[in-house]
Structure 1
């Protein structure tokens, strides 16, 4: 029998809680997939007023799941209620890019959203809150959120590139006709956008009981440096074209993976990809939220140092860094307006 921690539930906020991604995400949080099968939770569910009817239905389903780890929930349109005393935050809600919308318009709309949420985190959340930004443009949204929450360590704000990592691992596993769990240490560098760089130069795959390099196992640099990269960079658009809606189930699973590893740690010798505050490692400009390889222990991430960066990889890192610098500049101009 599982020993449920009834005494100290943690408080977890999900924004955009009536949306598609949250619909999959909430049930996984409630089931213990993120924080462990013995950790009880109180869910804080935030959305806008027009979504409250749908959110009421979501809460009815939370009741009907009858999960012992759920010690309560709060549904609200008020940031001060949603972020009160939270231990972890999934910032899913964001302004989506609509047809004909310029990137600067998208950034401007999201600055307003993440300013409000950053200020609420700063004022009401626990100071060690772990913040995962899922809503796009995730990297720059995380940067803005951190900017407006100066009392919370900048290391506590991250952006999700785990979906890209999961996509890349899956593509490699399919190519090698093996299980996805056999593929380790795939790295996503940079922005969660079409400039991201999925890098398997340092990745390993277990085949026939032996650990081998992915590059040598696939033995097709043409595919690895062209079709593979393009497939991962454009996978979100391909899903939309096929499904007529954006990735939701896989995005929710990636958010679970990201926060689970942040909360509980990564196995020795392995790393995962997270959008984190850059410190100048690998020649990346400082103070960008940039996807890096990180290992995690005791809820603290650390950039994995000393990985081989080829000239090809360096050119890709420079490209995605340039885009993030432009996004930062545009977003900060809105902040300072």
Structure 2
């Protein structure tokens, strides 16, 4: 039996955590032989239910940051940022003091990219590479759209990329993706044979999928978000093999993106360490989309940092 991991889940009473906790408990994330101690309510294993961040984050190995202030009707962006700066500042300060320095953190609560930057800012003793945000939900949605279009299973589509923000400006990119059809693996654009669809309807559907879910069920996505968070953390701990996945990570300037933004890139993971996939060809269409979502993230980050100094 592997050494017990301490896994923190914030917002543990919410809908996403309701689905996420069960997957963590039954071994879908860290493995069937991995004991976990979770700072959240659940009916099995070692449980610590607390609202004290100094208790919750003590010696944490992994953290699912699900809890955040949601945007409500009539709320300005600055109000949302101000509320979340307060939340993630306190949690970051606690992590800085009591968490393990190799803790792996995924921010799910929106605006996830910017919240992750704030968390990292207030936990300076923890490497910036240990803070990520979830765009795996968008990748999963994009894979599902391509799979449905081609009449194959989702697992037959690989290397779809989500660039940028976990928002309606994100850029789902299949220019480098592949699909296996009847035993033959081919590039997705070659299989779809519809450039107009890939540049228009496909992108819009993925970008607006969250809004469509809210319209249909009057609530945001929960089970699919929980699965994506688990997918993200599982790959971080277990690796990606010869494929890549999309994660929001701190930009180092790769692909011309402003350094310091929490930007979604394609990454490979080995030995619990992610690295941005380099050398991909970026055409003019992709460049425009990538820069547009980066501009939105820059605006968000600058506004959030202003709140930090207020």
Give the TM-score range, shorter chain: over 0.9
Question: What secondary structure does 1:178 align onto?
Answer: coil
**Which runs of structure 2 are paired with 1:71-90 in the superposition (5 Å)?**
72-90=46-64
Aligned to 2:120: 146
Q: Aligned to 1:122, which of 96, 103, 109?
A: 96
2:26 matches 1:31: yes
Q: Distance in 2 between matches of 1:93 and 1:274?
A: 19
How far off its partner does 1:226 sit?
Answer: 0.5
Q: Which residue is equivalent to 1:263?
A: 237
For residue 142 of structure 2, the aligned residue among 168, 175, 179 is: 168
Q: TM-score, normalised by structure 1?
A: 0.91
Pairwise CA distance, 1:310: 1.1
Q: Does residue 314 of structure 1 match 2:290?
A: no
Corresponding residue for 1:282? 255
Corresponding position: 1:218 with 2:192: yes
Give the Cα–Cα distance (whole angstroms) in 2 for the partners of residues 100 and 222 of structure 1: 36
The residue aligned with 1:325 is: 298
TM-score of the superposed pair, with normalisation by structure 2: 0.99
Is structure 2 residue 204 aligned with structure 1 residue 230?
Answer: yes
SS of the residue aligned with 1:307? coil
Structure-1 residue corresponding to 2:222: 248
What is the CA–CA distance in structure 2 between the aligned matches of 1:312 and 1:107, rounded to whole Å? 31
The 1-side partners of 2:85 and 2:130 are apart by: 19
Equivalent-residue separation in structure 2 for 1:320 and 1:114 (angstroms): 23
Q: Tell me the distance in 1 between the aligned counterparts of 2:12 and 2:154.
A: 30
Residue of structure 1 equivalent to 2:180: 206
Following TM superposition, where does structure 1 have runs of at least 4 consecutive aligned residues deviating by more than 6 angstroms?
none
Say whether 1:335 aligns with 2:298: no
- Offset, 1:208: 1.4
Distance 1:135 1:160 in 2: 9
Q: Does 1:304 align with 2:299?
A: no
1:263-300, Cα deviation, whole Å (9 max, x unpaired): 010012x1000000101111111110000000000000
- Matched residues in 2 for 1:212 and 1:310: separation? 20
Cα separation, 1, equivalents of 2:175 and 2:78: 34
Q: What are the ranges of 5 or more consecutive residues in structure 2 without an aligned counterpart? A: none
Structure 1 residues 37-58: Cα deviation after superposition (integer angstroms, max 9, x where no partner)? 111100112xxxxxxxxxxxx5
* C-alpha RMSD over aligned residues: 0.7
Within 2, Cα distance between the matches of 1:38 and 1:120? 29
Equivalent residue number for residue 20 of structure 1? 15
Which residue is 1:67 aligned to?
none
CA apart distance, 1:155: 0.2
Partner SS for 1:319: helix
Give distance in 2, aligned partners of 1:206 and 1:263.
Answer: 26
How many residues align structurally? 310
- 1:41 equivalent in alignment to 2:14: no
The 3-state SS of whatever aligns with 1:327 is helix
1:125 Cα offset (Å): 0.4
